[in-house]
Homo-oligomer: A and B are copies of this chain.
């Protein structure tokens, strides 16, 4: 069943407000046998108080066993089936640097590379060129001019940069030009379908002009194109849920993802406290708020259990400011688990807390992975999180008579 289609039919605009407080990668694992996870080890009096009065659950971002990247993880949170609404690597790269993709755009994930005198690739990553060197080169590539097409180039990091073509009739299905080995030249861009022929042509012209601009560079005298994608067609939060949604985040990637689903980016916060300042300031202007906290995931990816615990405690500390705004529904969760024990994203279910006057309390006493196992929301797929939030906010009509 297409739950999003059903919700779209039943949605109602009301005055109630929903807040999603997202601690990226919050789910974890113990580092000692019989020991607590990061969330269980953290002192979280505010989250525990919400858990007591609210309802807990355990969320699979995509399906049992499947580890999501941040893109699919967030789409799932927002109620968009991650397998259905695929965000191509080019689009994700552009989103990641905060580039706002439009319907006429094709985004390409690119690598600087090193070409030898014969024009063959000798280093696929341009000798791990530093961002300080590659950034200006990427910006120089904005000199490329192609009739009928707007060209954008954005530095990402080290050898990575992003190219966006904007114009009529540009399909996104062009094969990668990276031959995946050294000693051969980059491949010509080849279209997978008729709709993308023009894009392949444009990419060829871009390449030809770019290598001229880069000629003589010691490391980055060539480039490969490693992921073409058209902007994904994602129906907006307004269309699907009838919500005027705001996104408050520090990192560009999450602003980009929120924009892809039609949220408005508000404020320019640099810290979690500043994010809550923005939330307070914008409270009257929206009926849905996505507030993103990155460092739980970062410390998890570092493999640093103790620091991830501290980040969770920092996160817990701002909960009273959010609760004071009296949202009708407050959801606290993450996009996936990032256990320090694994130093990477994992498939383990994500703990969810839903606080609302309309929830059915479940006897859970605190917010932690083990406690959620007897939570009232049970174990569920992330695509049901928005329907549950909307229901608790009184924003869904009854199905059938």
Q: Are A387 and B63 in contact (CB under 8 A)?
A: yes
Q: Which of A47-88 contact B (CB under 8 A)?
A: 53, 58, 62-73, 81-83, 86-87
How close is A129's CB to chain B, nearest CB, in angstroms? 22
> Which residues does chain B contribute within 8 Å of A342, judged by CB atoms?
358
Q: Are B65 and A401 in contact (CB under 8 A)?
A: no
Q: Are A387 and B67 in contact (CB under 8 A)?
A: no
Q: Are B363 and A373 in contact (CB under 8 A)?
A: yes
Q: Are A69 and B360 in contact (CB under 8 A)?
A: no
How close is A16's CB to chain B, nearest CB, in angstroms? 14
Asked whether A360 and B29 contact (CB < 8 A) given A72-B400, A82-B399, the answer is: yes
Q: Are B81 and A1 in contact (CB under 8 A)?
A: yes
Cβ-defined partner of A391 (8 Å) among B67, B375, B396 = B67
Question: How big is chain A's contact interface, by range?
Answer: 35 or more
Q: Are A345 and B398 in contact (CB under 8 A)?
A: yes
Copies in the complex: 2
Roughly how many angstroms separate A87 CA and B400 CA in the complex, as a whole number?
A: 8
Cβ-defined partner of A64 (8 Å) among B10, B64, B348, B387 = B387
Q: Are B83 and A6 in contact (CB under 8 A)?
A: yes
Closest to A364 in B: B373
Q: Are B401 and A69 in contact (CB under 8 A)?
A: yes
Q: Which of A37, A81, A358 has the most CB of B within 10 A?
A: A358
Whether A192 sits at the interface, judged by CB under 8 Å, is no
Whether A283 sits at the interface, judged by CB under 8 Å, is no
Cβ-defined partner of A373 (8 Å) among B7, B62, B362, B380 = B362
Whether A155 sits at the interface, judged by CB under 8 Å, is no
Further pairs besides A6-B63, A10-B66, A348-B360: 19, Cβ < 8 Å? A6-B66, A6-B83, A7-B65, A30-B360, A30-B361, A33-B53, A65-B389, A66-B391, A66-B399, A67-B396, A67-B399, A69-B399, A69-B401, A70-B401, A72-B400, A87-B400, A87-B401, A92-B400, A92-B401
